[in-house]
Amino acid sequence: MKKNLTKILCTVIILTFTNLAFSQTCATFEYESYLNSKFPGYFKALEQTRQLSLSESSKLNKADNDTVYQIPVVFHIVWNTKSQNIHDSLIYSQLKALNESFRHIHSDTGRVRSVFKPVAGDTRIEFVLATKDPNGKPTNGIDRFKTDQTDFGGNNGFAENVKSTFDYGVDAWNTAKYLNIWVCKFTYNGTPIISAYAFPPTNAQFWASSNFTASHLQGVVVNYQFIGIKNPNDFEPSSMREKTLVHEVGHFLGLRHIWADKNNTCIGEDDGLKDTPNSRAANRNCNPALNTCNQGAGDQPDMIENYMDYTPYPCTVMFTQQQATLMRYNLLNLRLGLSQIKTDLPPPPVYTKISVAPNPVQGNLRIIFEQQGIYTIKLTDMIGQSITSGEFAVGDAFEYNKPLNVAAGIYYLNISNGDNEVLKQRILVQ
C-alpha cells in the first residue's frame, strides 16, 4: 500500500507513515498526473500550452500598467459537520488576503529580502465575490450545500466528486464566467495529506476537440481548514494558512512550482521564468540561508518567500514580475471572458446613437448609427497595438458591417467622428 500511495502522490508529498505526521501539500502536480492517466495526451498538451504562454507572455511587457482585471469568484461550501460549514467572515478574510497578495499590498511586503525586492510583482489581478448566480439571481458569492458525504477524498486522495451534484457535491457555475472554489473535507484514509489543488489552463489553440479540457472541472478545491485568516480548524504547524489559496490560484492561472516539481536536482526542467532562481526541491522552512542550486555568476538564494514554494506561514509574501505577466497573459488568452476591466471611475458613456452587436461576436460586427457622417474605426488588442483602422461613411442605411477576421480574444473598438470619440467599447471575439 505504501508503494502504491507513493506512486499516486509522487515524491512531492511528504508523509511519515509511522506517525501519520502531516506536511501541508498542494497536489496540483499529482492531480495533473492523475488527469494524464485518465485522459492520455493531457500532459503533452499541457506542456505545449505552458511553452506557448511563456513565449507569448513576454510580449505583454509593454501593456498598460494601470489596467486591473477583476475575476468573479464563487465559494462552494460543501459541508457535512458544523465545523466544515465555515463562517462567512473566513471567506471575506480569504478574499482580502487573496487580493492583497496578488496586488502586493499586504502589510508584510517588507519580508521580501532586498535581493528580491526589484523583481516583486503586482499582478494587477483582483477577485470579487459574484453578485449574480448563473440564473441572474442575486448572490453574495458564497454557495452553501449540506451533503451526506462525510469525506470527499477518494482512493487517489483527490476530491473530484465534490464538483458533481450527482456525487453529493455541487456542480460548477459556468467556469468561463466564474472562478469556482470548492471548500470541503477530503482526506486519504482519514489523513488530510493534501491541502488543495487546482486545474491549470488547458485551452490553448492547438488543443483538438478530442483532447481533455473538461470545463466543468475547472477551478480550485481546498480543504475547509485552510480557508481564511485564523481559521479555527487549522492546527497544522506547516500550514500556509490563507496563502494556500493564493498558491492554488497561481496554478489556476498557469504558474508552476518554482522548483518545477523536480526530484531533488538542480538539473533539468524549470518553471521557465528567469526571475525565480532555481531550487533543488520544495522548501518547507523559512531558512534565509537556503541556496540549494548554485547558478554561477549572479547566483541567488532560494526564493523561499515566493507563493509558489511550500514554505509555511508567514514566509510566502510575493510573486515575481514574470510570474505576474504570465498569469495576466493566461487570464486574457487561456481563460478568455473570465475577467473584466476594473475602473474606479464610472465607465465612459456609450454614444446613444451607436449600438454594437453581437458581443461576443463571431464573423461580422454590426454597428447601427442614428446619424450620417464620416467615421473612423479602430480596433486594438489588449496591449494597445492597432489591429485594423480606417474611415467609412454612414449614409441613409445607418448601418455598417465590420468583418472581424481576427483571432479569438478581447479587443477594443474605438469609433470617432472628426476629433470626437463617440464610442469606446470592449469586444469579445469568439
Annotated catalytic residues are 248
User: Which H or E run contains 32?
Assistant: helix 28-38
Pairing of strands 68-79, 179-184: parallel
Euclidean distance between CA atoms 27 and 47, whole angstroms: 17
Cell numbers describing residue 314: 508567514
Q: Which amino acid is at 149?
A: Q
Nearest to 323 by CA among 298, 296, 305: 305
Nearest to 28 by CA among 228, 237, 282: 282
Residues 6+ apart with CB under 8 A from 313: 239, 240, 241, 242, 243
Name the CA radius of gyration of the chain, rounded: 23
Euclidean distance between CA atoms 285 and 306, whole angstroms: 12
Cell numbers describing residue 338: 473570465
CB 11 within 8 A of CB 262: no
